C-alpha cells in the first residue's frame, strides 16, 4: 500500500513536470516561430505578418501619415489609406456617440525589439511571446494595424466598452477586422486582443466577417 502511494506520488510529479515543459513554451508546442518565411509583399494591403512570416529589419512603409489628433491619444502614424479609413470610421462613431481613439499604430522594428525585450525581462519569454510579438513579426510594422481604446480609456478593457460593440458591428464597413479573435488563437498564434484592428480593405474585411474566419485562413 505504501509502495502504491509512493508510485502515485512519483507519477503525479512526472505529470506536472511534463505539463510545465510543454506549456512554458507554447509557441514551440504549436509550431510558431519555427519554419520562418520572409515577407515578400510588405506593401500589399493583404500582407500576412505573424509568427511564421517576418518583415525585414529595415522595412518601413513609405506613405506613413499622422492620424488626426482628435482620434489618437498622441501623435501616431499609419499608412495613408488606413488613416483615411480610420478617420472616417472614428468620425462616424463619434457622430453616433462613440469615442474610438488610436493608442498604437505604426511601430518600427527597433521599437518592437525594445517592447518585446522589456516583456522578456520583466515577465519571461513565454509571457512575452504570448502578449507581444518578436521584432519583424508584429503587424504594427506594416502600418496597417491600430490598437484602440474606448470610453474607459483602457485598451486592455476595450471589450467592456460600448465602442467595442460598435466596432463588432461596423469595423468591416471601413475595411478593418478584429485581427486576433478568441476562437482562432491556435491559428493566429496570438491571444485574443479585442483592441487590435487590422486594415485589409472593405472587400476582404466583409468576407472575413461574413465567413467568421481569420486572416490566416482567409488567405489560404
Ligand atoms: Zn496591436
CATH number for the domain spanning 158: value is: 3.30.1380.10
Contact, 99 vs 151, CB < 8 A? yes
Q: Are residues 96 and 197 in the same domain?
A: yes
116 pLDDT band (50/70/90 cuts)?
very high
Specify the pLDDT at position 28. Answer: 61
pLDDT at 31: 82
Instruction: Point out the least confidently predicted range of 16-20, 52-56, 132-136.
Output: 16-20
Is the domain of 17 the same as that of 115? no
Tell me the whole-structure pTM to 2 decimals: 0.87
Same domain for 16 and 41, yes or no, is no
161 in the same domain as 61: yes
Residues 6 or more apart from 82 whose CB is under 8 A from it?
A: 143, 144, 146, 199
Q: Which domain holds residue 20?
A: 1-30
- Rounded to the nearest whole angstrom, what is the distance from the C-alpha of residue 138 to the centroid of ligand 1? 8
Say if residue 10 is in the same domain as residue 90. no
Are 101 and 188 contained in the same domain? yes
Based on the fold, state whether residues 10 and 111 are members of the same structural domain. Answer: no
Ligand 1 center from residue 103 Cα (angstroms): 9
Quick one: 41 and 25 in the same domain?
A: no
pLDDT at 30 over 80: no
Count of the separate structural domains present in the chain: 2
Q: Say what the pLDDT of residue 135 is.
A: 97
- Both 122 and 196 in one domain: the answer is yes
C-alpha cell at 195: 483592441
For residue 22, count CB atoms less than 10 angstroms from its CB and return exposed for 0-12, middle for 13-18, buried for 19 or more. Answer: exposed
Of the pLDDT bands very low, low, confident and very high (cuts 50, 70, 90), residue 26 is low
Kindly list the catalytic residues. Answer: 193
pLDDT of residue 29: 63
Choice between 7 and 139, residue whose per-residue pLDDT is larger: 139
d(CA 32, CA 132): 13
DSSP strand E in the chain: where? Answer: 37-38, 53-54, 64-66, 77-79, 101-104, 145-149, 176-178, 196-199
What's phi and psi for 133, nearest 5 deg? -120, 145
Give residue 209 CA to ligand 1 midpoint distance, Å. 19
State how far the Cα of 88 lies from the Cα of 78, in Å rounded to an integer.
14
In terms of domains, do 119 and 184 share one?
Answer: yes
Same domain, yes or no: 16 and 104: no
Angstrom distances, CA of residue 210 to CA of 30, 47, 160, 199, 220: 27, 20, 23, 16, 16
Statement to judge: residues 22 and 97 lie in one domain: no
Distance 104 CA to ligand 1 centre (A): 7
Amino acid at each position: 500500500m505504501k509502495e502504491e502511494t509512493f508510485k502515485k506520488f512519483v507519477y503525479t510529479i512526472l505529470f506536472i513536470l511534463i505539463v510545465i515543459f510543454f506549456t512554458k513554451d507554447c509557441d514551440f508546442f504549436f509550431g510558431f516561430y519555427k519554419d520562418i518565411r520572409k515577407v515578400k509583399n510588405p506593401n500589399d494591403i493583404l500582407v500576412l505578418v505573424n509568427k511564421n512570416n517576418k518583415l525585414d529589419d529595415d522595412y518601413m512603409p513609405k506613405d506613413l501619415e499622422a492620424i488626426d489628433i482628435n482620434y489618437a491619444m498622441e501623435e501616431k502614424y499609419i499608412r495613408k489609406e488606413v488613416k483615411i479609413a480610420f478617420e472616417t470610421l472614428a468620425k462616424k462613431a463619434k457622430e453616433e456617440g462613440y469615442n474610438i481613439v488610436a493608442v498604437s499604430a505604426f511601430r518600427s522594428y527597433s521599437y518592437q525589439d525594445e517592447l518585446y525585450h522589456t516583456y522578456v525581462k520583466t515577465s519571461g519569454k513565454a509571457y512575452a511571446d504570448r502578449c507581444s510579438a518578436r521584432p519583424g513579426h508584429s503587424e504594427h510594422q506594416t502600418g496597417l494595424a491600430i490598437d484602440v481604446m474606448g470610453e474607459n480609456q483602457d485598451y486592455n478593457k476595450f471589450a467592456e466598452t460600448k465602442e467595442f460593440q460598435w466596432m463588432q458591428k461596423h469595423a468591416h464597413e471601413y475595411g478593418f477586422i478584429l485581427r486576433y479573435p478568441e476562437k482562432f488563437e491556435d491559428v493566429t498564434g496570438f491571444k485574443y486582443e479585442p483592441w487590435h484592428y487590422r486594415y485589409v480593405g472593405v472587400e476582404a474585411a466583409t468576407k472575413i466577417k461574413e465567413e467568421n474566419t481569420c486572416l490566416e485562413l482567409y488567405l489560404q
